Structures are given as structure tokens and as C-alpha cells.
């Protein structure tokens, strides 16, 4: 290997989840890289790379599952390091909260590992600011792809801070990915968790399957053709299971449909749309076949009331009884003595006994009087 500057204590790679698209994996890698809690810029850069690896997973299909992210990231970075970065920054901006918490945890672990790593420090070609806590494993089965190395160096050079250190960290990441892929190929112990999580999916007993199949058979053919629907149903069941089961990849963000709906409601009432709707309604509305349908139509139009008759149709008075009766609080705008007050108290007495008006109407009534008397104030003062 060209660059073997940084050496780190070997983390339990079994902790890594096998879906690199999950945030957990990304955070874990972040934590690994950002062991030295002192410089946060480095770790942020590593976050960028790890997220880029997550996103560009789809680009590379040739290599193994784990290799694809870093390669894809490298290729992407080679082409144009700006647009993915922006995307990543946006994504990171959303995920920063979790990351910071995780980072603290990892930093705590890093402080423990530092003491271990002090022993393993070999020749460092990094700058003085880099602490000696970062170490790497020297055990490697396969050398990394020279393309990957070139890509890593290109990426590191594109970034402003601590290029060599970034490069070495990237390569360490890649190495770790390769190791995990090798483990997977050999049938390692990593996949247990996923398998267990998948096991939580409901499994129907064969008896239930038999019931279902028999139900289907009764619809299709009755004689002799039992085998085919069974097989097809089994296959369909399996395919259904495989489609729906599994952890979410979080590749696609949910397209927010709210602004679309808002736009649609604004622009929808065009004349042609209304005309079309009218045509459709006219075509689909068949004349009533009997008296019942006629009555239904009348009810929809509002000609016929709904039975049993609800006496409070259209009245939506949500106010309590005390709001109807105790109306004195609305009398604040009036003078406290004099004939006007007397008059208004009579008005309120009458309103409180009125069951036909809503509270709103009563309040409007009182406010009208208030306005009227305010207009006549000059006249009243002359008197």
C-alpha cells in the first residue's frame, strides 16, 4: 500500500450494519473517523464522504456491495466534486443533530481507544496537529484498487483541510469496506442481525395457506388443476415477502405533495375543467328508475329533508347556555348610569330569553346599539 500513515485500533466491524444507506452506519463510520475529538472539521469532511458513498451507491454495480459506495463516491468526485457535495451538505444539514450526539459517544470511545492506540503508533506522515490517537491496522489481505487510491488522493486534494490525513482516512475506510465484503463472501457472522429482524415478519401456517388456496380454487377451476394455483400462490407469497420485508433504504426522500396540492387547488377551477365536470355529471346521472331513487336525488339536492328529522339542521350553535344568558359582559362600552344603561339592560334581558338567535347574532345586536349611541353622543350630551 502506498499510504499507511495512520493506524487505528481495529473496531469491531461486526457492529456495522450491512445496509450502508442507514444513518447508523454512516454515523458509525463518522465516529470511527472522527475519533480524535479535537478537530471537528476533519470529521465533517468524513461525514461528507460517507454520505456521498451512501448516495452514489447506485452508480457502481460491478464490485461488491461494500465496495460500490466508495468507488462510486470516488468516481463522482472525479467528475465533479461540487454538485454531490452540495447535496450532501443539504442532507447533512438535516442529519446534523443525530450526528453530533453520536459523535460524542464515539469521542468517548475514542478517548478509551487512544490509550490503546498509543502503543500502535508507527511512522506518521501527518501534520503536527494530528494527534497520535489515530492508528490503523496493518493486517491486510488484499491491497486496495489502484483506482480507488487515485480517487481518494484526488478527493483529498480537492478539499482544503489536511489533505494527507483525509486521504489516509479515506483509504482506511475503503480497506475496512473490503474487509467486510470479504467476510460476507466467506459467509461471515455479520448478517445475523438482519436475518433476525427479517424473521419478525408474519408467517402463515400451511393450514392457512391451504385455506387461501382452496378459496382461490373455488373461483378458478374445480377439477384437477390444484397444482398450478398452489405453486403460483407460493411464488407470489414469496415474492410478496421479499418485496415488503427488509429495512428501509432511505434513498428516496418522500416527495412532498402538499405544495403540489396547493398549486392544483389554486389553478384548478378553469372553465374547461368545470365544463368537463358538468358533462361528466350529466352523462353519469341517469334518470331515477323508481321512487326511491327519485327521493334519494331530491335529498341530495336539498328538496327533501333527511329523516329522522333533525330540528337543528343548519344551526351550529356551539355556545353554552351561560353565553346566551349572561350577556352583561358585552355591556362594558356603555355608561354605567342613566337611561341608556337602563335601556340596554332591558335589551339584554330580552335577548337572554330569546332561543332563536345565536350568540353571535345577540352580540351583533348589542354592538349595533353601541355604535348607534356613540354616533349620537353629541346629541345626548346636549340633553
- If one asks whether residue 313 binds another protein (CB under 8 A), the answer comes out as no
> Residue 23: CB partners within 8 Å, gap ≥ 6?
95, 98, 250
Cell of 325: 344568558
- If one asks whether residue 108 binds another protein (CB under 8 A), the answer comes out as no
- Judged by CB under 8 A, which stretch of 45-53, 59-67, 164-172, 282-290 contacts another protein? 282-290
The only residue of 278, 310, 335, 360 in contact with another protein, by rule CB under 8 A: 278
Q: Rounded to whole angstroms, how far apart are CA atoms 55 and 21?
A: 7
323, 359 Cβ separation under 8 angstroms: yes
CB of residue 256 to another protein, shortest distance in Å:
36
* Sequence-ordered alpha helix ranges (H) in the chain: 23-33, 40-55, 68-79, 83-120, 146-158, 163-185, 192-199, 206-219, 227-244, 258-267, 271-284, 291-301, 321-325, 339-352, 359-375, 377-382
Q: Rounded to whole angstroms, how far apart are CA atoms 148 and 142?
A: 13
What is the 8-class DSSP label of residue 135? B
- If one asks whether residue 346 binds another protein (CB under 8 A), the answer comes out as yes
Q: Rounded to whole angstroms, how far apart are CA atoms 327 and 336?
A: 15
The only residue of 80, 160, 287, 314 in contact with another protein, by rule CB under 8 A: 287
What is the 8-class DSSP label of residue 18? S
Cβ closest to another protein, residue 193 vs residue 342:
342
CB of residue 253 to another protein, shortest distance in Å:
43
- If one asks whether residue 335 binds another protein (CB under 8 A), the answer comes out as no
> Residue 50: CB partners within 8 Å, gap ≥ 6?
25, 26, 29, 30, 33, 173
- Judged by CB under 8 A, which stretch of 20-28, 31-39, 140-148, 285-293 contacts another protein? 285-293
- Judged by CB under 8 A, which stretch of 123-131, 168-176, 246-254, 343-351 contacts another protein? 343-351
Residues from 348 through 367 that contact another protein (CB under 8 A): 365
CB of residue 283 to another protein, shortest distance in Å:
8
Tell me how long the chain is: 383
CB of residue 329 to another protein, shortest distance in Å:
20
Among 60, 57, 59, 72, CA closest to 19: 57
The only residue of 7, 28, 49, 369 in contact with another protein, by rule CB under 8 A: 369
- If one asks whether residue 326 binds another protein (CB under 8 A), the answer comes out as no
- Judged by CB under 8 A, which stretch of 56-64, 75-83, 155-163, 368-376 contacts another protein? 368-376
- Judged by CB under 8 A, which stretch of 33-41, 147-155, 258-266, 339-347 contacts another protein? 339-347
Cell of 166: 483525509
The only residue of 339, 354, 360, 374 in contact with another protein, by rule CB under 8 A: 339
The only residue of 93, 219, 372, 381 in contact with another protein, by rule CB under 8 A: 372
- If one asks whether residue 199 binds another protein (CB under 8 A), the answer comes out as no
- If one asks whether residue 7 binds another protein (CB under 8 A), the answer comes out as no
Size of the site for another protein (CB under 8 A): 24
The secondary structure of 350-383 as a DSSP string is HHHT-SSS-HHHHHHHHHHHHHHHHHTHHHHHH-
> Residue 132: CB partners within 8 Å, gap ≥ 6?
117, 118, 121, 124
- If one asks whether residue 304 binds another protein (CB under 8 A), the answer comes out as no
Neighbour count for residue 6 (Cβ, 10 Å): 24
- Judged by CB under 8 A, which stretch of 109-117, 124-132, 134-142, 340-348 contacts another protein? 340-348
- Judged by CB under 8 A, which stretch of 69-77, 186-194, 202-210, 286-294 contacts another protein? 286-294
Q: Which residues bind another protein (CB under 8 A)?
A: 278, 281-282, 285-288, 297, 301, 339-340, 342-343, 346-347, 365, 368-369, 372, 376, 379-380, 382-383
Amino acid at each position: 500500500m502506498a499510504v499507511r500513515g495512520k493506524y487505528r485500533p481495529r473496531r469491531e466491524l461486526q457492529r456495522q450494519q450491512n445496509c450502508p444507506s442507514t444513518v447508523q452506519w454512516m454515523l458509525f463510520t463518522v465516529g470511527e473517523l472522527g475519533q480524535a475529538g479535537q478537530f471537528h472539521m476533519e470529521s465533517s469532511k468524513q461525514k461528507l464522504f460517507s454520505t456521498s458513498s451512501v448516495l452514489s451507491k447506485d452508480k457502481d454495480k460491478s464490485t461488491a456491495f461494500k465496495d460500490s459506495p466508495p468507488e462510486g463516491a470516488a468516481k463522482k468526485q472525479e467528475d465533479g466534486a461540487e454538485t454531490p457535495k452540495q447535496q450532501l451538505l443539504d442532507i447533512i444539514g438535516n442529519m446534523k443533530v443525530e450526528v453530533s450526539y453520536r459523535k460524542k459517544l464515539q469521542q468517548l470511545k475514542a478517548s478509551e481507544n487512544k490509550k490503546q492506540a498509543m502503543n500502535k503508533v508507527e511512522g506518521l506522515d501527518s501534520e503536527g496537529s494530528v494527534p497520535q490517537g489515530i492508528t490503523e491496522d496493518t493486517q491486510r489481505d488484499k491491497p486496495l484498487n489502484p483506482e480507488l487510491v487515485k480517487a481518494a488522493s484526488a478527493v483529498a486534494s480537492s478539499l482544503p483541510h489536511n489533505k494527507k490525513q483525509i486521504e489516509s482516512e479515506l483509504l482506511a475506510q475503503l480497506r475496512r469496506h473490503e474487509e467486510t465484503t470479504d467476510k460476507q463472501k466467506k459467509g461471515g457472522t455479520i448478517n445475523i442481525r438482519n436475518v433476525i429482524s427479517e424473521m419478525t415478519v408474519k408467517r402463515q401456517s400451511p393450514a392457512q395457506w391451504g385455506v387461501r388456496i382452496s378459496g382461490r380454487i373455488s373461483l378458478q377451476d374445480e377439477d384437477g388443476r390444484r397444482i398450478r394455483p398452489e405453486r403460483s400462490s407460493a411464488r407470489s407469497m414469496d415474492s410478496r415477502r421479499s418485496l415488503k420485508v427488509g429495512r428501509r433504504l432511505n434513498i428516496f426522500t418522500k416527495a412532498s405533495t402538499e405544495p403540489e396540492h396547493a398549486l392544483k387547488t389554486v389553478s384548478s377551477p378553469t372553465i374547461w375543467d368545470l365544463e368537463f365536470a358538468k358533462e361528466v355529471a350529466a352523462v353519469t346521472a341517469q334518470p331515477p328508475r323508481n321512487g326511491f331513487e327519485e327521493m334519494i336525488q331530491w335529498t341530495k339536492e336539498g328538496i327533501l329533508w333527511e329523516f329522522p328529522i333533525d330540528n337543528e339542521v343548519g344551526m351550529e350553535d356551539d355556545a353554552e347556555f351561560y353565553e346566551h344568558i349572561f350577556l352583561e359582559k358585552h355591556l362594558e362600552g356603555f355608561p354605567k348610569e342613566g337611561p341608556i344603561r337602563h335601556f340596554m339592560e332591558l335589551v339584554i334581558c330580552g335577548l337572554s330569553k330569546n332561543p332563536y338567535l345565536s350568540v353571535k347574532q345577540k352580540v351583533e345586536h348589542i354592538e349595533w346599539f353601541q355604535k348607534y349611541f356613540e354616533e349620537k353622543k353629541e346629541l345626548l350630551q346636549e340633553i
